[in-house]
Amino acid sequence: MGSQKRIAKELSELVESPPEGIIVELADEANLYKWKVFMEGPEGSPYQGGKFIVNLTLPTEYPFKPPTVSFGTKIYHPNVTNDEKGSMCLGMLRADEWKPSSKIAAVLQFARQLLQEPMPDDAIEGRIAEQYKNDRKRYDEIAKEWTRKWAVSE
């Protein structure tokens, strides 16, 4: 199928010239559709210094359906579900907004940008979004603490 060829090309491009703060590998060498991504917390964000594992899964209908993105590392963020799934689903990752002409690299950059600038109005975790808007200081503290606790390997 043409989609495998495309995925392989996208992967090799990402491996050869990775975007800033993003390292990509296959979760399982035999499966092109499951990627393991190491994402550095952007500078200036409370996630700075952390290294987050992001699981990227490509549906069999790719590129006609969007990849799914979930955080394998616990993260305190209004747009990431605060559970063991760590799902992120908004903007270009939604089926109705997804464009088959998008690169996976763009998806990953979008996810990293979201660490820099959360989108509280499109939040999954309403409580964190509320805090982000009204009590940024407290939000920063908790996010930093979670980063230290879960995303920094000793």
Partner 1 sequence: MSLSKLSWNHFGPHHPFPEKQKFHGCYQDALAPPAFLRPLGLSISAAFAPGPSTMSNSSNMNTLSPDEMQRFQKLSNEFEPDVPGLLVSPKQSSHNIALEYANADPAFATKTSALAVTHPMSRTMKGDGNCGWRAVAFGYFETLFSLRDMLRVEQELARIKSLTYTLDRVGYAEHLYEMFIDATEEVFAQTSEAIQNGDQDESFLVNAFNNEYKSNSILMHFRLLTSAWMKLNAVRYQAFLPVPLEQYCASEIDTVRTEIDEVGLQALVDGVIQGAGFGVEILYLDRSEGDAVTPHQLSPTCPSDATIRLLYRPGHYDIIYRAEQTVNMAPVVNYQYAMTSNYSPWDQGALSFDVNSHLMSIPNLMADPAFGMGGAPMSPIPSVSPTPASPYRLSPTQDMYQSPMQSHAPVPSIPVSSPTPAMPSAAPPPMTSLPSRSSDGPQIRLNPLVMKPNLNHLPVTAPFKNSPYNQAHFRNQDFEPIHWEPNDNRR
Given 23, 53, 89, 90, which residue is catalytic?
A: 89
Residue among 46, 50, 63, 118 that touches partner 1 (CB under 8 A): 63
Name residue 48's amino acid. Answer: Q
Q: Where are the alpha helices (DSSP H) in 46-154?
A: 104-116, 126-134, 136-146
- Asked if residue 127 binds partner 1 (CB under 8 A), the reply is no
Tokens for 11, please give them. 């992967």
**Nearest one of 42, 47, 66 to 150, comparing CA atoms:** 47
- Asked if residue 74 binds partner 1 (CB under 8 A), the reply is no
| Stretch of 32-40, 49-57, 60-68, 130-138 lying at the interface with partner 1 (CB under 8 A) | 60-68
Give the whole-angstrom CA distance, residue 47 versus residue 28. 27
Any idea which residues carry the catalytic annotation? Answer: 89
> Residue numbers of the site for partner 1 (CB under 8 A)?
1-3, 5-6, 9-10, 13, 61, 63-65, 81, 83, 85, 87, 89-90, 93-103, 123-124, 126
